[in-house]
Amino acid sequence: MAISRNKFLFILTGLFAVEWALLAISPHDRADWALENILVFVTVAVLALSYRTFPLSRISYGLIFIFLCLHEVGAHYTYAEVPYNDWTRSLFGTSLNDMLGLERNHFDRVIHFFYGLLLFYPVRELFVRIADAKGFWAYTLPVHIVMSTSMIFELFEWVVAEIFGGDLGMAYLGTQGDVWDAHKDMVLASFGAIIAMVIVVLINLGLKRDVAREWWESLSVKHPEPLGEEAINKPLPNV
């Protein structure tokens, strides 16, 4: 299994390196491309440094790989300028926006949705393996993390836009004139995570796991004594 995982990661790393190198050539906005890749560098570094002590499953690595590949497309063109309409026009004779009755470039919306859909499982793996989360908590806490990190990223975008300002700030923010852009992005990330949660529930049900019992047990009270001032005033045991 270890050799198989190593080969799998070697293939993913090689494919991502090739895509990254190709899309690093003449990006639409070099400064925006650099900003978009900051979190990519951090993510890859964390995954590399943690591999020996805390390797993830191949499923988690694969899902992270897909998300990073999609993100690099947005980084190359800037999210508001990804020419998916040109691609669909060349294939089908009409643009995707025309087919769906859309106006703005929605590539950023799609990536926010995939952020929740693809990263739910890796986050769930962390909760299960580190926090020993079970039942209800093993399914819902990853959704909460996706929602909160999506909010944090929107704040990060706002801070970066304030710092750099001008065309670079607007390119990185990518609101395209929509005052509710951040809210919609967070909703889509949350929706993607909820869909992923439902998929995992259905898979576990298909594997004959007693999901209902696991949820019920996880919601039972483990420590009936209250915390707060009661715990503070409780005498310490003699050592």
Please check whether residue 232 lies inside any domain of the structure. no
Please check whether residue 133 lies inside any domain of the structure. yes
Within a 10 A sphere around the Cβ of 117, how many other Cβ atoms?
A: 23
Please check whether residue 166 lies inside any domain of the structure. yes
Please check whether residue 227 lies inside any domain of the structure. no
- Nearest to residue 64, comparing CAs of 117, 6, 3? 117
Yes or no: say if 175 and 121 are a contact pair by the CB < 8 Å rule.
no
Please check whether residue 230 lies inside any domain of the structure. no
Spatial neighbors of 137 by CB under 8 A, at least 6 apart, are: 127, 218
Beta-carbon-side half-sphere exposure of residue 118 (alpha carbons within 13 Å):
17
* Domains of the chain: total: 1
* pLDDT computed for residue 170 by the predictor: 62
Please check whether residue 58 lies inside any domain of the structure. yes
Residue matched to tokens 């190593």: 6
Measured CA to CA in angstroms, residue 105 lies from 50, 111, 186 at distances of 36, 12, 17
Please check whether residue 73 lies inside any domain of the structure. yes
Give the burial class of 146: count Cβ atoms within 10 A of its Cβ; 0-12 exposed, 13-18 middle, 19 or more buried.
buried
The two tokens of residue 3 are 């050799």
Please check whether residue 104 lies inside any domain of the structure. yes
Coil, strand or helix: which one is 132?
coil
Give the model confidence (pLDDT) of 192-216 as tens digits: 999 999 999 999 999 988 888 998 9
pTM: 0.87
Give the model confidence (pLDDT) of 23-42 as tens digits: 999 999 898 899 889 999 99
Domain extent at residue 115: 2-83+90-218
